Chain A
């Protein structure tokens, strides 16, 4: 299984503009496997992204919009994607000018394969 995880993050990391990918336990916020550019803190990324996903998922359900499958943060210095993968969450950090369409597609596909 860990090989599958490793292959997923490696493939995502190869997309131009991606600074890193992490698979984290959704509830614990702990990184299971990660592939990150220098300067990206995998533990912090896993903890923060998992927490964001949990909070947003709760908000989505509570507001009647159903289960959340993807959260995409936009910021001045880049993007963060967190994709549902069963008990895991797949997290991708990308630069501002990255190919977001491709990243979203790949991340969604990978999230389904991990779930």
Chain B
């Protein structure tokens, strides 16, 4: 849908008159379409001060960061969207593509498969899943990617202000993967995550680019990423050192969707851990919303006392959280300190395995 000059004028006046006006959102979208990225970003950031949980504003900000080539912040904003709306298709797809570009294959699959459940016929998601399958097959076959940079950021193509597109190198066909390039597969997918105004968006496609994880990290597969981190193989044992002594009943790391990534409950089975992770993390959104609305700054954790245990939940990175469960009458200060250690350990794990 194209916006008229009169629309823009009206929204602009509304925002000038009332800084809390929700007109900031269509105005920011219009600015983005006009290529006024900084102005659009300012509007979004100001709007989010008034409405910290506004999913559409976070989604638009993600696109603006993406336009600016800042994929990490784009992914952060999509994470915020998913905190508010766990089934947001654009955010799942966007963050899935970011993970895919960074060769964080497990997380990419998790997000893209959720996106595919919501819109099974979306061709970009299907294409991305196909690419993902190819890469995982190659990784499973022992072919790893380059360990150093030497290629451009795959998101940095000259896409128009309304789309980012990724066209992997056609010189590395799927059937004949080069030993130093696991990702070239001749596939193409295009990312256009702002569908509400898609008619106004040009079909910009950047030139083909060499394949390489952003920042030249050279991360090539989930298994090899762990080398040198000190984080060992079995994810269920990530926190075992902490559980060896003392009153800890369990320690889990869960992702933004409440799925257990690592850790275990002492004496419990995997099903118990999944239940605890999923159910307790459902309260995280509420905690984040509360501190944001009350102007208490960033959420750093939540201590919960129950009839049977003392629990602590704290954010780690990328929407993940660490849940600790300790025996009743455990000193809360001790649990808070342990939570800090657990968060460090979890962050290292995320870095190694994500």
A48-B289, A71-B302, A74-B301 in contact; A65/B296 too (CB < 8 A)? no
Mask, A59-102, CB within 8 Å of B = 1, is 11011111111111111111110000000000001000000010
Choose one: B282, B287, B332; the contact of A73 (CB below 8 Å): B287
Q: Is the CB of B293 within 8 A of A48?
A: yes
Choose one: B297, B304, B307; the contact of A78 (CB below 8 Å): B297
Choose one: A40, A52, A63, A104; the contact of B290 (CB below 8 Å): A52
User: What A residues does B283 contact at CB under 8 A?
Assistant: 52, 55-56, 59
Having A59-B282, A64-B272, A77-B295, one finds 6 other A-B pairs with CB under 8 Å, namely A60-B306, A60-B311, A64-B275, A64-B308, A77-B296, A104-B332
B50 contacts the other chain (Cβ, under 8 Å)? no
- 8 Å CB interface, B266-325 against A: 272, 275-276, 279-280, 282-283, 286-287, 289-291, 293-309, 311, 325
Q: Is the CB of A48 within 8 A of B290?
A: yes
Residues of B within 8 A of A (CB): 272, 275-276, 279-280, 282-283, 286-287, 289-291, 293-309, 311, 325, 332-333, 336
Tell me the complex Cα distance, A34–B140, Å. Answer: 61
Choose one: B291, B297, B306; the contact of A65 (CB below 8 Å): B306
Name A's interface SS: mixed
User: What B residues does A75 contact at CB under 8 A?
Assistant: 291, 296-300
Q: Is the CB of A69 within 8 A of B289?
A: no
User: What B residues does A74 contact at CB under 8 A?
Assistant: 299-303, 336
Q: Is the CB of A59 within 8 A of B279?
A: yes
A59-B279, A74-B301, A74-B303 in contact; A65/B294 too (CB < 8 A)? no
Choose one: A49, A68, A77; the contact of B304 (CB below 8 Å): A68
User: What A residues does B332 contact at CB under 8 A?
Assistant: 72, 104
Residue of B nearest to A44 (CB): B293
Q: Is the CB of A73 within 8 A of B306?
A: no
User: What B residues does A9 contact at CB under 8 A?
Assistant: none
Q: Is the CB of B304 within 8 A of A56?
A: yes
Tell me how far the C-beta of A79 lies from the nearest C-beta in chain B, rounded to whole angstroms: 8
Tell me the complex Cα distance, A56–B306, Å. Answer: 10
A31 contacts the other chain (Cβ, under 8 Å)? no
Q: Is the CB of A52 within 8 A of B286?
A: yes
Q: Could you give 20 example pairs across A and B, Cβ below 8 Å? A: A41-B294, A45-B294, A60-B304, A60-B306, A63-B279, A63-B280, A65-B306, A65-B307, A68-B304, A68-B306, A70-B305, A72-B303, A72-B304, A73-B291, A74-B299, A74-B300, A75-B299, A77-B295, A80-B291, A93-B296
Q: Is the CB of B297 within 8 A of A71?
A: no
Tell me how far the C-beta of B325 lies from the nearest C-beta in chain A, rounded to whole angstroms: 7
Choose one: B272, B299, B306; the contact of A66 (CB below 8 Å): B306
Residue of A nearest to B276 (CB): A63
Choose one: B280, B296, B309, B333; the contact of A59 (CB below 8 Å): B280
Mask, A27-60, CB within 8 Å of B = 1, is 0000000000000110011001101100110011
Choose one: A55, A69, A78, A80; the contact of B306 (CB below 8 Å): A69
Q: Is the CB of A66 within 8 A of B291?
A: no
User: What B residues does A41 contact at CB under 8 A?
Assistant: 294
Q: Is the CB of A66 within 8 A of B308?
A: yes
User: What B residues does A78 contact at CB under 8 A?
Assistant: 296-297
Tell me how far the C-beta of A92 lies from the nearest C-beta in chain B, rounded to whole angstroms: 12
User: What B residues does A55 contact at CB under 8 A?
Assistant: 282-283, 286
